[in-house]
Protein backbone atom coordinates (compact mmCIF):
# COMPACT_ATOMS: atom_id res chain seq x y z
CA UNK A 1 0.00 0.00 0.00
CA UNK A 2 1.50 3.39 -1.00
CA UNK A 3 2.29 5.86 1.72
CA UNK A 4 0.03 8.91 1.87
CA UNK A 5 1.55 12.05 0.39
CA UNK A 6 1.66 15.18 2.49
CA UNK A 7 1.16 18.66 1.08
CA UNK A 8 3.25 21.40 2.70
CA UNK A 9 1.13 24.09 4.31
CA UNK A 10 2.49 27.64 4.20
CA UNK A 11 2.98 29.50 7.47
CA UNK A 12 0.05 31.64 8.62
CA UNK A 13 -0.25 34.86 6.65
CA UNK A 14 1.59 33.54 3.57
CA UNK A 15 -0.16 32.61 0.37
CA UNK A 16 0.40 29.07 -0.95
CA UNK A 17 2.46 28.74 -4.13
CA UNK A 18 0.19 27.90 -7.03
CA UNK A 19 1.74 25.95 -9.87
CA UNK A 20 -0.21 25.67 -13.09
CA UNK A 21 0.79 23.14 -15.68
CA UNK A 22 0.00 23.84 -19.31
CA UNK A 23 -1.04 20.93 -21.48
CA UNK A 24 1.90 18.96 -22.90
CA UNK A 25 3.44 20.66 -25.95
CA UNK A 26 1.37 23.80 -25.38
CA UNK A 27 2.46 27.34 -24.67
CA UNK A 28 -1.15 28.35 -23.99
CA UNK A 29 -0.64 28.13 -20.23
CA UNK A 30 1.94 30.88 -20.51
CA UNK A 31 -0.47 33.56 -21.79
CA UNK A 32 -1.74 36.34 -19.59
CA UNK A 33 -4.73 38.52 -20.24
CA UNK A 34 -3.25 41.47 -18.35
CA UNK A 35 0.10 43.21 -18.36
CA UNK A 36 2.59 42.11 -15.71
CA UNK A 37 3.29 44.38 -12.76
CA UNK A 38 6.11 46.87 -13.32
CA UNK A 39 8.22 45.27 -10.57
CA UNK A 40 7.74 41.71 -11.84
CA UNK A 41 11.05 40.17 -12.91
CA UNK A 42 11.59 39.06 -16.49
CA UNK A 43 10.77 40.41 -19.93
CA UNK A 44 7.31 40.28 -21.44
CA UNK A 45 5.81 40.67 -24.89
CA UNK A 46 2.40 42.10 -25.70
CA UNK A 47 0.71 40.54 -28.69
CA UNK A 48 -2.73 40.46 -30.22
CA UNK A 49 -4.09 36.93 -30.31
CA UNK A 50 -6.29 36.58 -33.39
CA UNK A 51 -9.87 35.39 -33.19
CA UNK A 52 -10.63 31.75 -33.92
CA UNK A 53 -13.25 31.58 -36.66
CA UNK A 54 -14.97 28.49 -38.02
CA UNK A 55 -16.89 28.27 -41.26
CA UNK A 56 -20.17 26.36 -41.04
CA UNK A 57 -22.16 25.27 -44.09
CA UNK A 58 -25.73 24.11 -43.54
CA UNK A 59 -27.95 22.41 -46.12
CA UNK A 60 -31.70 23.00 -45.83
CA UNK A 61 -34.29 20.96 -47.75
CA UNK A 62 -36.30 23.25 -50.04
CA UNK A 63 -38.44 20.62 -51.77
CA UNK A 64 -38.54 16.86 -51.32
CA UNK A 65 -37.91 14.48 -54.18
CA UNK A 66 -40.89 13.34 -56.26
CA UNK A 67 -41.16 9.68 -57.32
CA UNK A 68 -43.31 7.91 -59.90
CA UNK A 69 -46.02 6.08 -57.92
CA UNK A 70 -45.88 2.95 -60.02
CA UNK A 71 -42.16 2.47 -60.64
CA UNK A 72 -40.64 4.35 -57.73
CA UNK A 73 -38.29 6.18 -60.07
CA UNK A 74 -37.28 9.69 -59.02
CA UNK A 75 -38.97 12.15 -61.37
CA UNK A 76 -37.73 15.27 -59.62
CA UNK A 77 -34.76 15.20 -57.27
CA UNK A 78 -34.86 16.97 -53.95
CA UNK A 79 -33.51 20.49 -53.88
CA UNK A 80 -31.49 22.03 -51.12
CA UNK A 81 -30.33 25.49 -50.18
CA UNK A 82 -26.86 25.85 -48.74
CA UNK A 83 -25.92 28.66 -46.42
CA UNK A 84 -22.39 29.29 -45.25
CA UNK A 85 -21.57 31.42 -42.22
CA UNK A 86 -18.42 32.35 -40.39
CA UNK A 87 -18.77 32.06 -36.62
CA UNK A 88 -16.33 33.42 -34.08
CA UNK A 89 -15.44 30.63 -31.66
CA UNK A 90 -13.03 32.74 -29.57
CA UNK A 91 -12.69 36.49 -29.84
CA UNK A 92 -9.36 38.14 -30.53
CA UNK A 93 -7.66 39.57 -27.50
CA UNK A 94 -4.46 41.16 -26.26
CA UNK A 95 -2.21 38.69 -24.50
CA UNK A 96 1.11 38.84 -22.72
CA UNK A 97 3.78 36.16 -22.52
CA UNK A 98 7.20 35.95 -20.94
CA UNK A 99 9.97 36.21 -23.51
CA UNK A 100 13.72 35.77 -23.53
CA UNK A 101 15.15 39.20 -22.63
CA UNK A 102 17.00 41.16 -25.34
CA UNK A 103 20.26 41.21 -23.37
CA UNK A 104 20.16 37.39 -23.22
CA UNK A 105 19.74 37.06 -27.01
CA UNK A 106 23.50 36.89 -27.59
CA UNK A 107 25.01 35.57 -30.83
CA UNK A 108 25.92 32.35 -28.94
CA UNK A 109 22.33 31.84 -27.76
CA UNK A 110 20.92 32.65 -31.21
CA UNK A 111 23.34 30.17 -32.83
CA UNK A 112 22.20 27.52 -30.33
CA UNK A 113 18.58 28.42 -31.11
CA UNK A 114 19.26 28.02 -34.84
CA UNK A 115 20.83 24.59 -34.25
CA UNK A 116 17.89 23.52 -32.06
CA UNK A 117 15.40 24.63 -34.72
CA UNK A 118 17.49 22.99 -37.45
CA UNK A 119 17.49 19.68 -35.53
CA UNK A 120 13.70 19.88 -35.21
CA UNK A 121 13.18 20.65 -38.90
CA UNK A 122 11.97 24.25 -38.51
CA UNK A 123 15.10 26.05 -39.72
CA UNK A 124 17.00 25.42 -42.95
CA UNK A 125 19.48 28.30 -43.02
CA UNK A 126 23.07 28.65 -41.93
CA UNK A 127 23.95 28.89 -38.24
CA UNK A 128 25.05 32.53 -38.08
CA UNK A 129 24.20 33.70 -34.58
CA UNK A 130 22.14 36.51 -36.14
CA UNK A 131 18.40 36.82 -35.46
CA UNK A 132 17.44 36.86 -39.14
CA UNK A 133 13.94 36.89 -40.62
CA UNK A 134 14.42 33.19 -41.43
CA UNK A 135 15.26 32.45 -37.79
CA UNK A 136 12.20 34.39 -36.61
CA UNK A 137 9.96 32.49 -39.05
CA UNK A 138 11.35 29.21 -37.69
CA UNK A 139 10.66 30.36 -34.11
CA UNK A 140 7.12 31.30 -35.15
CA UNK A 141 6.57 27.90 -36.80
CA UNK A 142 7.92 26.05 -33.73
CA UNK A 143 5.76 28.05 -31.31
CA UNK A 144 2.66 27.93 -33.55
CA UNK A 145 2.60 24.14 -33.15
CA UNK A 146 2.25 24.82 -29.42
CA UNK A 147 -0.43 27.50 -29.66
CA UNK A 148 1.68 30.68 -29.69
CA UNK A 149 1.91 32.40 -33.07
CA UNK A 150 4.81 34.80 -32.56
CA UNK A 151 8.29 35.23 -34.02
CA UNK A 152 9.47 36.44 -30.59
CA UNK A 153 11.06 33.59 -28.62
CA UNK A 154 9.03 32.84 -25.51
CA UNK A 155 10.81 31.84 -22.35
CA UNK A 156 8.87 28.57 -22.23
CA UNK A 157 9.86 27.60 -25.81
CA UNK A 158 13.50 28.40 -24.97
CA UNK A 159 13.23 26.17 -21.91
CA UNK A 160 11.66 23.34 -23.93
CA UNK A 161 14.54 23.47 -26.42
CA UNK A 162 17.14 23.52 -23.64
CA UNK A 163 18.37 27.04 -24.41
CA UNK A 164 17.74 28.37 -20.93
CA UNK A 165 17.45 26.49 -17.68
CA UNK A 166 14.11 26.50 -15.91
CA UNK A 167 15.09 29.23 -13.44
CA UNK A 168 15.44 31.69 -16.33
CA UNK A 169 19.22 31.81 -16.75
CA UNK A 170 20.78 31.06 -20.13
CA UNK A 171 22.08 27.49 -20.24
CA UNK A 172 25.85 27.44 -19.79
CA UNK A 173 27.86 26.39 -22.81
CA UNK A 174 30.09 23.40 -22.12
CA UNK A 175 33.62 24.51 -21.35
CA UNK A 176 36.44 23.15 -23.45
CA UNK A 177 38.86 21.12 -21.36
CA UNK A 178 42.54 20.77 -22.11
CA UNK A 179 43.61 17.18 -22.85
CA UNK A 180 45.20 15.32 -20.19
**Domain at 34, CATH number:** 1.10.101
Q: Is residue 177 part of a domain?
A: no
Q: What is the model's pLDDT at position 146? A: 85
Q: Does a structural domain hold residue 140?
A: yes
State residue 38's pLDDT score. 83
43 falls within a domain: yes
Number of domains in the chain: 1
Q: Mean pLDDT by 10-residue block, N- to C-terminus, for the chain (180 residues)?
A: 44 47 52 79 82 88 94 94 87 84 94 96 96 96 88 92 73 48
CA distance readout (Å), 102 to 32, 42, 44, 47, 171: 20, 11, 10, 17, 15
Residue 137 resides in a domain: yes
* DSSP of the chain: -PPPPP---PPTTPPPP---PPPTT--GGG-BSSPPPTT-SSEEEEEEEPPEEEEEEEEEEEE--EE-TTT--EEE--EEEEEEEEEEEE--EEEEEEE--GGG--HHHHHHHHHHHHHTTS--S---SS--HHHHHHHHHHHHTTT---SSPBHHHHHHTTSB-TTSSBPPPPPP----
Q: Assess if residue 146 is contained within a domain.
A: yes
Q: How high is the pLDDT of residue 52?
A: 79
**0.85 exceeded by pTM:** no
Would you say residue 13 lies in a domain?
no
Residue 142: its pLDDT value, please? 94
Taking the mean position of all CA atoms in its chain, how far away is CA 121? 17
Its domain, for residue 40, covers 28-50+98-160
pLDDT in tens, 81-92: 999 998 887 777
pLDDT tens digit sequence for 21-38: 334 455 656 677 788 888
Asked if residue 71 is part of any domain, the answer here is no
Distance, CA of 164 to CA of 30 (rounded, Å): 16
Round the CA-based radius of gyration of the chain to a whole number and report it: 27
Q: Which residues pair with 87 in a beta bridge?
A: 54
Nearest in space to 136 (alpha carbons), one of 159, 156, 170, 113: 113
Amino acid sequence: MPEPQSTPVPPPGEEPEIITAAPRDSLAGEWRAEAPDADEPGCFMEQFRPAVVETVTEHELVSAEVRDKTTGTVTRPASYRSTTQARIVEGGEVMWFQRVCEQDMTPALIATLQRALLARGYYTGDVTGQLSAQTQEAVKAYQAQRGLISPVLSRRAAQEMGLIIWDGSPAAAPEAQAPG
